[in-house]
Structure 1
């Protein structure tokens, strides 16, 4: 997660290392195994239905809210994916205070964040200063995570069922949750972990390429060469951690995770990356995969 991304509503962010060979859910290529359209709840609380035509081209439509009103949305297709912008997000996007990838519906589905596979949205909030970060009031419907000192940020997880409350707290001008917020980012999942999640199962001991250099970063940070990687795993949702062995060969890092006597357990992964400039960042993926 050490590569920078500059985002504006009219320009898509660089691809997030997605698996280009994987067809979009709901497309003709997946019709045999996944014929249903995909429902996705955005960070604003708005729900969209993502479908595809016979050629596999994606389309999206807004679903009614609880009060039966239908939100106004704009859509845009670009190389990284299909973007859906609810009316309630336009001001924040124009102001540059929210990551556009939070509205890349095909990108979110590729990472496993559709409603059938995820009940929350993983986020990183960067703040205007240390004091703002320490005093930030956790928005309604959010779970506060680790402090990310190097980027002046904080990990958050927004419950999809309360995403509308979460969004209101962050965007309301007088809200204590929104004051001091610099930008809200999607906490992207790495390509390797995304592939592991799609498989859902790994053996007791397996060496996986971490593809760490391809992680996407935040806050416009331009990285130095990746010089260190620490990977830890947990069977109890992050209460206790075990270190995985990491190794570097050329520009590629691998992590060896020992799952002896862990059959049937769900694995949470945590990765800490350090670059040649001395900067570091931590990413945690809950329930990354299960041990068979």
Structure 2
């Protein structure tokens, strides 16, 4: 169990598939190539407002592009685990690592499969739960940050 959790935290620290050298050399980095992209073309708006666009045709994999809430290229960590594609905007990494935000909120494969992509929903459903005053305060702080960016 601890090895799995440690591996997940290490994976969160790994950079996205787009290299820093490539990103610095172009105004708009190319979408990152990944194997576990859901079939077809999909757009998924995350709870941060970032929009993940995936494209896949055929069995060879596909591409992932992440746009910030303002429409600019976003910094994100892209990870593949157990056949699923995860996209973590850099702003959420400390919250996911601390267990405040559930990593399933960033499982693009599952969100698309469950119909939570932009083609099927115009609102973002979100269930918030906690079991103590400290957790409640933490969730309110994170939700305030998500809504205001502060």
TM-aligned CA deviation for residue 96 of structure 1: 1.3
Q: Deviating runs (4+, > 6 A) in structure 1?
A: 6-9
Indicate yes or no: 2:89 matched with 1:86.
Answer: yes
Report the counterpart of residue 24 of structure 1 in structure 2.
Answer: 38
**In structure 2, distance between residues paired with 1:76 and 1:131:** 30
Secondary structure at the residue paired with 1:112?
A: coil
Q: Which residue of 2 aligns with 1:116?
A: 119
Quickly say closer, same or farther: Cα 1:58–1:10, change in 2 above 3 A: farther
- Write the distance in 2 (CA, Å) between the matches of 1:166 and 1:124: 17
Q: Which residue of 2 aligns with 1:284?
A: none
Shift of 1:111: 0.3
In structure 1, list runs of 5 or more residues that go unmatched: 1-5, 13-22, 27-36, 141-164, 173-292
2:54 maps to 1:43: no
Tell me how large the CA RMSD over aligned residues is: 3.6
Answer whether contact 2:54 2:64 (CA < 8 A) is retained.
yes
Matched, 1:62 2:79: no
Whose radius of gyration is greater, 1 or 2?
1
Q: Equivalent residue of 2:91, what SS? A: helix
Alignment gaps of 5+ in structure 2 = 12-36
The answer to whether the Cα contact below 8 Å between 1:76 and 1:83 also exists between their aligned partners in 2 is yes
- Whether 1:74 aligns to 2:89 is no
- Report Cα offsets for 1:249-286 as digits up to 9, x if no partner: xxxxxxxxxxxxxxxxxxxxxxxxxxxxxxxxxxxxxx
Aligned residues: 120
**Deviations 1:194-214 (Å, cap 9, x if unpaired)?**
xxxxxxxxxxxxxxxxxxxxx
Cα shift at 1:53 = 4.3
Q: 1:166 to 1:116 in 2, by over 3 A?
A: farther
Give me the TM-score of the superposition, normalised by structure 2. Answer: 0.62
Which position in structure 1 is the counterpart of 2:8? Answer: 10
1:79 shift after superposition = 1.5
Contact 2:76 2:90 (C-alpha < 8 Å) held by counterparts: yes
Structure 1 residues 121 and 99, CA gap change in structure 2 (3 angstroms):
same
Q: Which has the higher helix share?
A: 2
